[in-house]
Structure 1
Amino acid sequence: MSRFLILQLRPEAEASDDEFAAFLRKGGLAPGQVHRIRLDCEDLPEGLDPRDYAGVIVGGGPGCVSDPPDQKSAVEARIESACLSLMPAITRDDVPFLGCCYGIGILAHHLGAEVSKARYGEPVSHVTCTRTREGAADPLLDGLPDRFDAFVGHKEAVQHLPAGAAHLLHSGPCPFQMIRHGQNVYATQFHPEADAAGFETRIRIYRHKGYFDPSEADALIDMCRAADVTWPERILRNFVTRFG
């Protein structure tokens, strides 16, 4: 099996390591089956070609694609530029791609759709995702129920479906929870790798990043522990199984 390329965007080492471990565990991957690049602290290797991998997985992060350039840190700007530099080849050649949270913003922005904070942001919470007609037939959702809960927490969102994209999942607060371009290029607004323990770690790390009032952190952790979020990880496993 060719290796999967995992691109990570989180500057906080603990959050990045926890996310990476979740990708491996939930995707059924061994460390030797992936090429991990932490874009917060390393550049893409010169000449890197996404077509040389079984697929590309992009994790989440605190940056926003829609922030004005003068509001982005140098690290955030570099991460965004690196991700966007791969999207022409990925979408042109239908390279297997799974963008998680930040990844849907990157994909939609590349495809010319509006990504902004105007509508559809979601506080740290779990929401019920529902399949669309196209989602009912999509192989990455094989084995999942028509409705399932997933963990979310994002300031910006896709405002309209990119031209030519398939709409696979929606929720009440956010219409575009999962989309597909071509046959192999996917992105989710929710975090398919996240479970209660993982989200608890992120709540603790990002409590002062503007996602929620810091005084709410303990209540949010209790919410995560009480949530029944088990199905989204099947999407990761289906992605690895289909393209590995």
Structure 2
Amino acid sequence: MARLLVVVPSDTDPPTRLGEWLADAGLELDERRLSRAEPLPGDLTGVDGLLVLGGPQSSLDDAEVSPELVGVRHLLAQALAADLPTLAICLGAQLLAQVGGGSTRAGVDGPEVGATLVAKRDAADADPLFGPLPLSPDVLQWHHDEIDRLPTGATLLASNPAYPHQAYRVGQHVYGLQFHVEPDEAVLRQWAGSDPVGVAASGTDAETVCARAVAVLPDVAEVWAPFAGRFAALVEAHARARHTPAGG
């Protein structure tokens, strides 16, 4: 079974539905929750894919403020160098941008919170994961920082009017998503209850933000569960190649 290392920087953003979709697709999930002091491996030996989720930490935090992110950056840099199948979400996508030669900053237009749409860029049509998506898929947003500069050589795959760098690929198999696809209703309500600044930026109240986000959960699943299956196929292909003897 192909092994996916799942890095959870905060218990506030567990893999939830995305984890279920990936497990249903046949992956073995090796989950490491950093807020519970579960150690990260020193390298990616024996790993066929990497998933890095989000959290309330800022991508701009240094090692003194968020020491748990040091190891995450280290693994993302290794994944980039090896072109290992990787899916980095929200904070993960921001850290990926940084280690790949891009940069992040506090969002110039404030937090982006709640249900919204992103639009595929032309390059997405030829991408194995993004190609089958609808033109403007439903997503869930919850971020205060933004990716202001993509990693070196990255391909932009999705944008929206608020923040243009919504999804990108580096190399052939490393993906960053600024938005979320994983939360369920309980997670969304937790986020809304703990982030008054983000909720205020939405122009509504917490209950309205949650109601609108919960309403699109079936549409998110319809689009992004198959996406998860396609990512799982990349991880499985890596596992097959890893276990095939040279010349075999």
Q: Same fold (TM over 0.5)?
A: yes
1:20-99 residue pairs with structure 2 within 5 A? 20-29=15-24, 33-45=28-40, 48-67=42-61, 72=65, 77-99=66-88
Who is 1:199 aligned against? 188
* TM-score when normalising by structure 1: 0.84
Following superposition, the deviation at residue 42 of structure 1 comes to 1.9
Q: Which runs of 5+ in 1 are unaligned?
A: none
* More displaced 10-residue stretch of structure 1: 150-159 or 88-97: 88-97
Aligned length: 231
Deviates more, 1:139-148 or 1:30-39: 30-39
Aligned mate of 1:178, from 152, 164, 167:
167
How far 1:153 moved relative to its partner?
Answer: 1.1
Distance 1:176 1:207 in 2: 23
The Cα shift of 1:236 comes to 2.1
Match of 1:211 among 198, 201, 221: 198
- % of aligned pairs identical? 24
Describe the SS at the equivalent of 2:112: strand
The residue correspondences of 1:164-175 to structure 2 (distance < 5 A) are 164-175=153-164
- Structure 1 letter corresponding to 2:89: C
Are the structure 2 counterparts of residues 31 and 133 from structure 1 closer, same or farther at C-alpha, using a change threshold of 3 Å? closer
Listed as ranges, the gaps of 5+ residues in structure 2 are: 237-248
RMSD of the alignment, in Å?
2.5
Give the distance between the partners of 1:120 and 1:161, measured in 2 at CA: 18
Cα gap change, 1:34 to 1:134, in 2 (>3 Å): same
Quick check: 1:134–1:168 contact (8 Å CA) kept in 2? yes
Residue 127 of structure 1: aligned partner: 116
Which residue number in structure 1 is paired with residue 244 of structure 2? Answer: none
1:240 counterpart SS class = helix
Residue among 224, 231, 234 paired with 1:239: 231
Q: Is 227-236 or 98-107 further displaced after alignment? A: 227-236
2:146 is aligned, of 157, 168, 172, to 157
Structure 1 residue 105 corresponds to structure 2 residue 76: no
Q: CA deviation at 1:198?
A: 4.0
1:163 partner amino acid: T
